[in-house]
Amino acid sequence: MTLQSNLEDLGNSEKNEKEKNLAPHPRKWDIAWRDCTISLIFHIGAAYGLYLSFTAAKWQTWVFAILLHVVTNLGVSVGAHRLWTHKSFQAKLPLRVILLFLFTMAFQYSVVSWSRIHRMHHKYTDTDADPHNAKRGFFFSHMGWLMIKKHPEVKAHKVDMSDLMQDPLLRFQHRHYWEALFLLCFLLPTYIPTMWGEQARTAFYICVCLRYIGSLHITWLVNSAAHMWGSKPYDKNMTPVEIRIISLLAGGEGFHNYHHVFPWDYRIAEFGGYSLNIGKLFIDIMAKIGWAYNLKSVPDELIEKRVKRTGDGTHPIWGWDDPDLPLEDRDMSIVK
């Protein structure tokens, strides 16, 4: 046996061992009781908020809660996700401040913390180092991962966060997160509805608890449902899928198969239009006024190559003259 073959065997052995360590395997759940208790309290508050929505709340309060969901989702989808985690575009200071403000209102922890989790998810998708590994089932990837202590593989693997830690705005938010959260997520949404005569208690349960839990579950659906049920037109070898209803609810985040193949594309989708991708609409508007720039996207040629190489055959075509229509299908079609 040659030295080269020995080295190849050693390399393959190390690779197999690494894959074995990362592959999902059974583990005893170590429940994080404090986090479970806090989550339960907010869910009870959200249920009561839903009850108040139909029995006591003014219509303005309900509209305000929906508006809060939309704008805080922009903070998550456009800010923490597309801007800071994936760096799919760059933003001027006013836009960065606005997105940081909206993200803090969302109550999904600091941008640095959120981005670290999401970068881990992309780098180690569907392994034990993936914080919300979809191969552990719907409940785990939806919310169960937040109810137990981190898997040792999540703690052991690292991602580079130096770029975000060099941003003074993000450092400030990370350092003063809880004070900012109390003001932006709890105090303001409770106070503003009192300006049109709403009771503070009703405003709290609807605009804080119900809005927060509703927005969270929509975000969590991207981690769970969007890794299970849908098409895989860009890569059939991964769990992320395309679900349009989630895109509608989460500002474009349901085009998940595309996103995992091309995470640097600010559009986060190839198709869908603005109605299913409010995040893209927002970024395009910001680009028009000069607050967003260096928008990264994927050329059609690269998308076409990936679709043909790894797609599951569900990539849509619009009709006869679509260049994506396979020649075999065209030749076998009947033209009278």
Would you list the domain boundaries of the chain?
30-332
Picking from 175, 159, 151, 82, the residue whose alpha carbon sits closest to that of residue 116 is 159
Three-class SS state of 242: strand
- How far, in Å, CA of 48 to CA of 173, rounded? 31
* Per-residue pLDDT, 17: 46
Average pLDDT value for residue range 258-266: 92
Give the CA diameter of the chain.
84
Residue 19: is its pLDDT beyond 90?
Answer: no
Query: pLDDT digits over 128-149, tens only?
Result: 888 889 988 999 999 999 998 8
* Per-residue pLDDT, 95: 97
* Per-residue pLDDT, 9: 47
- How far, in Å, CA of 222 to CA of 228, rounded? 10
Query: pLDDT digits over 76-124, tens only?
Result: 999 999 999 999 999 999 999 999 999 999 999 999 999 999 999 998 8
* Amino acid type, 258: Y
Q: For residue 244, how far is the Cα from the chain centroid?
A: 14
Apex 108 CA angle, 48 and 209, nearest 5? 10
Query: pLDDT digits over 204-219, tens only?
Result: 999 999 999 999 999 9
Q: Phi-psi region for residue 125, left (φ > 0), alpha (ψ -120 to 50) or beta? A: beta
* Per-residue pLDDT, 6: 44
- How far, in Å, CA of 29 to CA of 148, rounded? 6
Q: Which residue has the higher pLDDT, 10 or 72?
A: 72
Confidence band for 276, pLDDT divided at 50, 70 and 90? confident
Listed range (59-68, 220-229, 269-278) with the worst mean pLDDT: 269-278
* Per-residue pLDDT, 20: 47
* Per-residue pLDDT, 306: 86
Question: What pTM does this model have?
Answer: 0.84
